[in-house]
Amino acid sequence: MTRRSGDRIWTGWAHNNLATALTEQDKEAERYHLQQARAIFRELGAPQLVPVTNLGLAFLRRGRYSAADAAFTEALNECEIIHDRRVASVVILGFAFSAAAQHEWERAACLFGFTDTEYEDCGASWGEEPELNRGRSLADVQRQLGDEFDRHYYSGRAGDRSDLIDFALRQRAIP
């Protein structure tokens, strides 16, 4: 209906929301709708980073880590341009999930610490866990690192934000 009405913004959001509902049923349709949402928002010159982040999460669920990281990189770069730290924290969480999935345990721990600080700094709380189960992934990283977990996690919590953004984008080594 939104497409027929001519309202491009709500059409973009409808594509995003439909994709979110399709995460388990039809992965190709999910990707198609997220790409449509991203294309519409780009066409309008209205950056909406939730569909791009969701696309990264969709790639991550399929084990397509390079594609996921590319979507997260696009979203984080844009978040920095428009100063959207709330969405940036979710994007950084996506990077943490990706690092954990690829067994980059130290990187994942640091990024979990960074995302927790970012989210708290914008006055939010995780509430219901994001769909990829942040708690389970974080526990897995803790199990893998053992006593070393706290050091890496707190380097993300206490590090310089600019350095940590570069680290998330793989432009800098572990802080």
Question: 76-89, pLDDT tens digit by residue?
Answer: 998 898 888 888 98
pLDDT over 50 (residue 15)? yes
Cβ(165)–Cβ(80) below 8 Å = yes
Model confidence, pTM:
0.78
What pLDDT band is residue 56 in, cutting at 50, 70 and 90? confident
Number of domains in the chain: 1
Indicate whether 101 belongs to any domain. Answer: yes
Q: Is the pLDDT of residue 16 over 70?
A: no
Could you tell me the residue range of the domain that residue 105 belongs to?
85-168
In a domain, 46, yes or no: no
Q: Quick check: 51 pLDDT over 80?
A: no
Nearest to 48 by CA among 78, 20, 72: 78
Residue 103 forms part of a structural domain: yes
12, 52, 118, 155 from 9: Cα distances, Å: 5, 15, 28, 39
Quote the tokens at residue 3: 């497409």
131 or 22, which is more confident:
22
Distance, CA of 76 to CA of 74 (rounded, Å): 6
70 domain-assigned:
no
pLDDT in tens, 119-167: 888 876 665 555 447 888 999 999 999 999 999 999 999 999 999 999 9
Q: Calculate the average pLDDT of the chain.
A: 81
Q: Regarding predicted confidence, which is higher, 141 or 4?
A: 141
Domain assignment present for residue 99? The answer is yes
**pLDDT higher than threshold 60 for residue 22:** no
Q: CA-CA distance, 64 to 109, in Å (whole number)?
A: 21
- From the CB of residue 11, how many other CB atoms can be counted at a distance below 10 Å? 19
Q: Kindly tell me the number of DSSP H helices and DSSP E strands found in the chain.
A: 10, 0
Task: Please report the pLDDT score of residue 131 as a whole number.
Answer: 47
Contact 165, 91 (CB under 8 A): no
| CB contact at 8 A, 15 and 33 | yes
Residue 57 lies in a domain: no
Asked whether residue 12 is domain-assigned, the answer is: no
Can you tell me the mean pLDDT for 63-86?
Answer: 90
Q: Quick check: is 36 in a domain?
A: no
